[in-house]
Amino acid sequence: MHRKRISKKSQNIIQGLMFFFFTSIIITSLILYLWVYTEIDETTLAIEIQNATLKEFENELFELRSETESLNRVDIISKKAKEEINMIFTEPEIIQIAIFNNSY
């Protein structure tokens, strides 16, 4: 069987097309890689920002709970009642009941 030889001109055209094709694939791959890398970097940054915000919110929530617990104490409530609304507290009355045992 005889194989038909490819002429120099056709061989140059095929090599030129292959070079162009592979160069296009390499450039496209590089652009795609850079795009994916940028997206991953931006996502990582967004996650770090959200984690920092979460820590701030947790800290603020802890402070608010501490403040709420301190405001629920009886001595703080009575102090605020005296200072802010001028509430007057009365002394508790002590009632003594004497029980006499009369045995006849």
CA–CA separation, 19 and 15 (whole Å):
6
- What is the pLDDT, as a whole number, of residue 104? 58
- What is the pLDDT, as a whole number, of residue 1? 57
**Domain map of the chain by residue range?**
11-84
CB atoms within 10 A of CB 81: 13
- What is the pLDDT, as a whole number, of residue 103? 66
CB 46 within 8 A of CB 38: no
Low-confidence ranges of the chain (pLDDT < 70): 1-3, 103-104
